[in-house]
Amino acid sequence: MIRFASLLWLALVAVTGFATFKVKYAVQDIEEELNKVRRQTIAEQQEIHLLRAEWTALTQPERLADLNRHFLSLAAVAPKQLQRKIDEIPLRPVPEPEPVIAAAPAPEPATAAARTEVQPVAPPATSVAAATPVAAAPSASADIVVGAAATVGAATPPSGMPKIQLIATAEAAPLPAVPAKATPAKPETRLQSAKGKSAQQPRSLDRLIDAIAEGR
Amino acid sequence: MQAAQRLDDNPCRPRHFKPPPPCAPVVADERANQVIETCRTRLVAAAALFAVVFLVVVLRLAEIVLVNGGGAESHIGRLPPAAPPPPARADIVDRNGTLLATMLPKPSLFVNSKALLAAGQNPDEAAHQLASVLADKSPAEIRARLVSGKSFAYLQRSLTPRQQYEINRLGIPGLDFTPEERRFYPYGDLAAHVVGYCGIDNEGLAGVERGLDAGVRGQREPLELSLDARVQFILREELQKVVKDFTAKGAAGIIMDVRTGEIIAMVSLPDFDPNRPGDTEGAPSAADPKERLFNKITLGDYEMGSAFKIFNTAMALDAGTATMAKNYDAIHDIQIGRFTISDYHGKHRMLSVPEVFMYSSNLGSARMAMEAGAERQRAFLGRLGLLKPVPIEFDELSRPHYPAQWREVNVITIAYGHGIAVSPLHVAAGVSAVVNGGILHPPTLHKLPPGAHPPGERVISEKTSEQMRKLMRLVVEFGTAKLAAAPGYVVGGKTGTAEKNQGGHYQEKKLLSDFVGVFPMHDPRYLVLTLVDEPHGNKQSFGFATAGWTVAPATSRIVQRIAPILGVAPVDEASPAVTQALAIESLQGKRIETY
């Protein structure tokens, strides 16, 4: 009986000893890892600090203003452009036969499309005709040319038809515009020049903002 | 017998060992028994001691395992810290958290010449390589230090991280770095005068760095200033434009929240780069370093000219000696001693108080002041804090200059801002109090939590403040500062143009033009004070160098640019809400003659 007790105690001592060492080494490993992580954290924090200083130096207002002048040419916000509530924004007035767009040498196609689509009231056919070179621009993808006012007049649906529909048809099917191909090549070059201009997006964006500001 | 009995109890005794038969005790046994007795006692004592020790161990074990891990935290305390050590100086940030000043590791490079030579490095080659990294040192200079034979010689102080990396990459033996920190101002000269700069041992020498040194030195939390870097930039840019356009000596400006006294921007031109405060490189030739380090806003004291009519009129209205409808003589010049006071923009007729203010009549103002008296004037200016240094977090503060004896001639000149010299900060704080409903807040550079109501002191009544707002709006609508109008932002203000006093004489050609603007006037939020030192008229200003032509248009541009940033929405200036708030009864129905 006593022998069994002694054996038991001996075994317990052995197990405890083993467990103790095991735990000790495990703790040592964890500590080492903790040390490493902490050193890393500090290094990272110092790096972040450095990068933050660098970021601040790179975003100096003076430098940003300079970059803007070179690449974006954004203008300061005019008081006119600031409105507190959505209700305070007035509706765009019905324009007289599009002097702004006609005068602009070659507005960017997408912009022009947006402009015409926004129009709340469909103007009579005559004004549609006058504005058509611009309205046709989005159809450039289909390689069609809708050129001089007279030709388009032929292609245009009966008067009173909303302008939006005109664009839609032009975009959906090139068919109605086919007769226009007979017209001289002059408008085509003009369209291409419009395409080329669209590369300078920021400038025309600027102009758009100006135009909107004037519209108010 | 006793001994035998005890012997018998011994559990270690083998069973076959029979106790001797009891016999008569012997004398010799007696002694042996005593020895055994002593041993036994000692054994028991030792066993008790061990038991106690083991008990302690057991209890401690139980505590560690079962109760709380036995204070493992204190053990972790011996490990390296989880955060870098606090920097020598805390960061300084603006109200949006943009860094204005921070510490950067700037190690210094030194060479152990003995080690370098012992490693068999060719000093010529090493010098050549180092010179390619350290741009401002010649190879010969570096070589001299490499072969000096000393075990410590600085090659270069304050390396950039890139330089350190390059040098490490060269792998030259005997070179090492000492870790050092340097103050770095990422925005350079943008807020130079506010933030200030530090010396080589990172001690604050100017601006906030000096004034709030205790809040920065050895702290970890960044110091938040009331400044807005974007607004600061706009103010500085516009002032630079004014200096250039009017070939002026300098300019200064301050933007302040009139409700709290927080300073949003503060610029003094010419300024300096706090990263190299003593350096004049790349500076306009005329400005000497002293001039550039000088903060015109807090250190300068100027006779502010007609802008002082704000205080003069407020005093007269608040004291009740004048009312909005009262008329003053602007026909006859005032003769006092050898001086003759006359009007710059003469109207030569009786002027009501709004007209006196609008047309900036010296005669009307002087008569208003004389009517109120020297005592009232002095007490009023004292109440507005114009006779003592402004309480702000700076060490560099000017002491106002004012006459020791307040005689009648002083009363007259002070009415239109001559004969008393105060800093622009004084005027900004005073005018804020005049327009914000009459509460004087000490100006501060500390960021206040949004919606905070800092303590203030009432200096004029609510009603006087309202009247002053109307008068200041009138100046921009019809008076001397029409060019300061910014559509939508209801700017109001007062111009001031003073001849500079040099050696007791007023110099006709050397002007100081200033404009105190406030917007929006029907519900004042921000004050914009700008002044330009010795401007010269140009073509666009038709040769004028007065405030209405120089700083007033600049204020208009500044307001239009900063208002969206500061969250002031434009309003319709013709809307009834605005016009009613700013209507002057005594002018109702009268045709206002434009200036």
Who contacts A113 (Cβ-Cβ below 8 Å, separation ≥6)?
Answer: A135, A137, A138, A167
Interface of A with B in 80-139 (CB under 8 A): 80, 82, 84
Give the whole-angstrom CA distance, residue B569 versus residue B571: 6
Residue B36 DSSP class: H
- A39 contacts chain B (CB < 8 A): yes
Q: Does A61 contact B230 at a Cβ distance shorter than 8 Å? A: yes
Contacts of A38 in chain B (CB under 8 A): 79-82
Q: Does B99 contact A53 at a Cβ distance shorter than 8 Å? A: yes
Q: Which residue from A minimizes the CA distance to B92? A: A53
Say whether pLDDT at A114 is over 90. Answer: no
Who contacts B102 (Cβ-Cβ below 8 Å, separation ≥6)?
Answer: A49, A52, A53, B87, B91, B92, B183, B184, B186
Beta bridge partners of B253: B267, B530
Q: Is residue B510 within a helix (H) or strand (E), and if so which, with residue range? A: strand B505-519
Q: Which residue from B minimizes the CA distance to A78? A: B560
Min Cα distance A112 → chain B (Å) is: 29
Cα A63 to its chain centre, rounded Å, is 23
Q: Does B161 contact A79 at a Cβ distance shorter than 8 Å? A: no
- A45 contacts chain B (CB < 8 A): yes
Strand B439-440 with B350-352, pairing: unpaired
- A57 contacts chain B (CB < 8 A): yes
User: Cα dist. A204→A26, A97, A107, A191, A197 in Å?
Assistant: 67, 21, 7, 16, 9
- Backbone torsion region of residue B310, taken as left when φ is above 0, otherwise alpha when ψ lies between -120 and 50, otherwise beta: alpha
- Rg, chain A, Cα only: 36
Min Cα distance A39 → chain B (Å) is: 8
Q: What angle do CA B251, B231, B394 make, to 5 degrees?
A: 65
Which position has the token pair 């004084």? B426
Q: Which residue from B minimizes the CA distance to A57? A: B186
Say whether pLDDT at A120 is over 50. Answer: no
For B444, phi then psi, to 5°, come to -140, 155
Q: Does B99 contact A56 at a Cβ distance shorter than 8 Å? A: yes
Active-site positions of B?
A: 306
3-state secondary structure of B76: helix
Strand B223-224 with B92-93, pairing: parallel
Mutate to test the interface with A, among B60, B182, B233 (most CBs of A within 10 A): B233
User: Cα dist. A183→A176, A186, B184 in Å?
Assistant: 14, 8, 68
Check if the beta carbon of residue B445 is closer than 8 Å to that of residue B208.
yes
- Compute the Cα dihedral for B565, B571, B577, B581 and give only its sign: positive
Mutate to test the interface with A, among B184, B267, B489, B490 (most CBs of A within 10 A): B184
Distance separating the N- and C-terminal Cα atoms of chain B: 137
Domain boundaries defined on chain B: 2-59, 92-224, 232-275+294-587
For B556, phi then psi, to 5°, come to -60, -45
User: Cα dist. A213→A74, A97, B281, B435 in Å?
Assistant: 14, 19, 44, 33
Residues of B contacting chain A (CB within 8 angstroms):
76, 79-84, 98-99, 102, 104-105, 161, 184, 186-188, 190, 229-230, 233, 237, 486-489, 560-561, 563-564, 569-570
Mutate to test the interface with A, among B99, B180, B195, B578 (most CBs of A within 10 A): B99
Hey, what are A129's tokens?
């005709």
Give the whole-angstrom CA distance, residue B267 versus residue A126: 59
Give the whole-angstrom CA distance, residue B265 versus residue B281: 26
Give domain B232-275+294-587's CATH number out of 2.60.40.10, 3.40.710.10, 3.40.605.10, 3.40.640.10: 3.40.710.10
Check if the beta carbon of residue B201 is closer than 8 Å to that of residue B88.
no
Strand B492-502 with B505-519, pairing: antiparallel
Q: Does B186 contact A57 at a Cβ distance shorter than 8 Å? A: yes
Hey, what are B341's tokens?
């006071």
- Rg, chain B, Cα only: 40
Please identify, in words, the CATH class of the domain defined by B92-224. Answer: alpha beta
- A185 contacts chain B (CB < 8 A): no
- A19 contacts chain B (CB < 8 A): no
| Closest Cβ opposite residue B80 in set A35, A52, A54 | A35
Tens-place pLDDT, residues B523-557: 999 999 999 998 888 877 787 888 888 899 999 99
Residue by residue, pLDDT tens for chain B (595 residues) are 455 455 556 666 666 666 666 666 556 688 889 999 999 999 999 999 999 999 998 888 887 777 765 555 555 556 666 677 788 888 999 999 899 999 888 888 888 888 888 888 888 888 888 888 887 788 888 888 888 888 888 888 878 878 888 888 888 888 888 888 888 899 988 988 999 888 877 888 888 889 888 888 888 889 999 999 999 999 999 999 999 989 888 999 999 999 999 999 999 988 888 888 776 555 554 557 778 888 888 888 888 888 999 999 999 999 888 888 888 888 888 888 777 888 777 777 888 899 889 888 889 999 999 988 888 899 999 999 899 888 888 888 888 888 888 888 888 889 988 889 999 999 999 999 999 999 999 999 999 988 888 888 899 999 999 999 999 998 998 888 889 988 889 999 999 988 887 776 777 778 889 999 998 999 999 999 999 998 888 877 787 888 888 899 999 999 999 998 998 888 888 888 888 888 887 776 666 666 6
Who contacts B241 (Cβ-Cβ below 8 Å, separation ≥6)?
Answer: B554
Q: Which of B366, B237, B225 is nearest to B309 (CA)?
A: B366
Check if the beta carbon of residue B336 is closer than 8 Å to that of residue B408.
yes
Mutate to test the interface with A, among B100, B104, B519, B578 (most CBs of A within 10 A): B104
> For chain B, what's the residue count?
595
Residue A205 DSSP class: H
pTM: 0.70
Q: Does A38 contact B489 at a Cβ distance shorter than 8 Å? A: no
List, edge to edge, every strand of the sheet that includes B250-257: B263-269, B250-257, B526-533, B505-519, B492-502
Contacts of B488 in chain A (CB under 8 A): 79-80, 82
| Closest Cβ opposite residue B229 in set A61, A76, A78 | A61
Chain pair A-B, CB pairs under 8 angstroms: 70
Q: Which string of DSSP letters, residue by residue, matches B374-436?
A: HHHHHHHHHHTTTTS---SS-S--PPPB--SS--HHHHHHHHTT-S-BB-HHHHHHHHHHHHT
Q: Which of B465, B443, B427, B441 is nearest to B315 (CA)?
A: B465
- A62 contacts chain B (CB < 8 A): yes
- A24 contacts chain B (CB < 8 A): no
Contacts of B164 in chain A (CB under 8 A): none
Q: Which of B252, B225, B242 is nearest to B100 (CA)?
A: B225
Contacts of B102 in chain A (CB under 8 A): 49, 52-53
Who contacts B196 (Cβ-Cβ below 8 Å, separation ≥6)?
Answer: B204, B205, B206, B207, B208, B209, B210, B211, B274
Min Cα distance B185 → chain A (Å) is: 8
Check if the beta carbon of residue B306 is closer than 8 Å to that of residue B511.
no
Hey, what are B523's tokens?
């519900």
Contacts of B76 in chain A (CB under 8 A): 34
Q: Does B487 contact A79 at a Cβ distance shorter than 8 Å? A: yes
Contacts of B184 in chain A (CB under 8 A): 53
Hey, what are B510's tokens?
């050397």
Tens-place pLDDT, residues A158-184: 444 434 433 333 333 344 444 444 444
Q: Which residue from A minimizes the CA distance to B79? A: A35
| Closest Cβ opposite residue B186 in set A31, A34, A53 | A53
ipTM of the complex: 0.73
Q: Compute, in degrees rounded to 10, the torsion defined by CA atoms B275, B281, B283, B284.
A: 170
Q: Does A79 contact B230 at a Cβ distance shorter than 8 Å? A: no
Q: Which of B526, B511, B533 is nearest to B300 (CA)?
A: B533
User: Cα dist. B130→A215, B117, B126, B164, B315 in Å?
Assistant: 63, 16, 6, 11, 69
Q: Is it true that the peptide bond before B105 is cis, omega within 30 degrees of 0?
A: no
